[in-house]
Amino acid sequence: MNRREFLTTSAGAILWAKEVFASAVKQERIRVSRIALVKTRDRKHGVKKAVELLGINPLKSKNVLIKPNFNSADPPPASTHDRVLEALMEVARDMGARSLAIGERSGFAGLITTESVLKKKRIYPLAQRYNAKIINFDNLEENDWIKINPPSGHWINGFKIARPVVEAEALIWTPCLKTHRFGGVFTMSLKLAVGAVKKSYMPELHASVFSMRKMIAEINTAFTPHIIVMDGVDVFTDGGPEKGELKHGDIILAGTDRVAIDAAGLAVLKFLGSNRHIMNTPVFQQDQIKRAVELGLGVSSPAQIEFITADEESRKYAEKLQVILKRG
């Protein structure tokens, strides 16, 4: 190769590299996930304001299913607060939902039933006030479970997930913000999916010490929530899921991206001070997050997360979380 050919080839390579870089930057800007953040201790106000800030309405004229966190009947943040459910049902009604349903499978350590949790938390009279149907996943017929085999998954032979979740016309996902001492490390929007998996698959999940968090992420390939609202007013920064070290997060988060929501939740835990599993591991290196990114379930970096706020206190809180996310 002579000098002219070398320079021509080099210039072409540089131009190609610049185009690739510009394209990557453009894609990074395009794939932004917006998270509404409301700093508050008033759950009902926070939920309504957060959903309003998202500026979307995927619920109009749809049959809406709300999936809460009723792993047990222990007080929030162990389980979904009734004020959160009230707010979500009112939001769905105001957005023009055709019908409302609450669907869940409980069963902390296999020691309790969904029915007992629903009764203890008085969900039946709450649902009745809003004309909402209750779907107890424990009572589903066999054909109401859908078999899923995630690509390159860590499940031995896939898993079965509740058909009402997979086929929901509009799905509202409402996790709590907390740590998880039994191997999950944290339990937020990705781990909420465990409550939609048939109970007979839980022994495999709980016995998979090294793959558990990846398996949790893989459950989420079966469906996509339309709105996610996470209650971080009170959080467990250690322990969990049914009891733990309680701190005030004073925050409601809403979005459509499970990875972005959980990343923001991890930033909240780091901000408040949490256990070594949270504090010593970068957000996007957490197994649940890392596997979810591999599966294309959400954003892949902090740069793709944009907070939306409506007041100064919330804006300042969001800035602190953004710094933590960028730092890792």
Question: Which residue type, as a one-letter code, is found at position 7?
Answer: L
Across residues 198-213, what is the average pLDDT? 95
- pLDDT the model gives residue 5: 47
**For residue 301, what are its two tokens?**
């970096």
**pLDDT value, residue 111:** 73
Q: Are 30 and 49 in contact (CB under 8 A)?
A: no
What's the confidence (pLDDT) of residue 262? 98
What torsion, rounded to 10 degrees, do the Cα atoms 80, 81, 87, 90 define?
70
Average pLDDT of the chain is: 92
Q: What is the pLDDT of residue 14?
A: 43
Residue 6: per-residue pLDDT: 42
Q: What is the pLDDT of residue 108?
A: 63
Span 162-182, mean pLDDT?
A: 97
Mean predicted confidence (pLDDT) in 54-62: 98
Mean pLDDT within 121-141 = 98
C-alpha neighbours within 13 Å on the C-beta side of residue 237: 18
Note the pLDDT of residue 109.
56
Q: What's this model's pTM, rounded to 2 decimal places? A: 0.90
Cβ–Cβ under 8 Å, residues 221 and 148: yes
Q: What is the mean pLDDT of residues 167-176?
A: 98
Cβ count within 10 A of residue 75? 13
204 and 157 Cβ atoms separated by less than 8 Å: no
Q: What CATH number is associated with residue 37?
A: 3.40.50.11440
Same domain as 126, residue 10? no
> 28 pLDDT band (50/70/90 cuts)?
very low
Q: HSE (CB half, 13 Å, CA atoms) of 231? A: 28
Residues 24 and 110 in one domain: no
Do 16 and 104 share a domain, yes or no? no
How high is the pLDDT of residue 328? 84
pLDDT at 299: 98
Integer Cα distance of 30 and 25 in angstroms:
9
Residues 21, 38 within the same domain: no
Confidence tier at 133 by pLDDT (50, 70, 90): very high
Residue 74 DSSP symbol: P
Residues 163 and 280 in one domain: yes
73 and 6 housed in the same domain: no
Q: Identify whether residues 10 and 39 lie together within a single domain.
A: no
Give tens-digit pLDDT for 59-73. 999 999 999 999 999
Q: Domain span at residue 6?
A: 1-30
| Among 8, 9, 3, 94, CA closest to 44 | 94
Q: What share of the chain in percent tops pLDDT 70?
A: 90
Does residue 26 share a domain with residue 149? no
Please indicate, yes or no, whether residues 21 and 145 belong to a single structural domain of this protein. Answer: no
169 burial level (CB within 10 Å; 0-12, 13-18, 19+): middle
Check pLDDT > 50 for residue 10.
no
State the total domains in the chain.
2
Residues 26 and 135 in one domain: no
Name the DSSP letter for residue 280: T
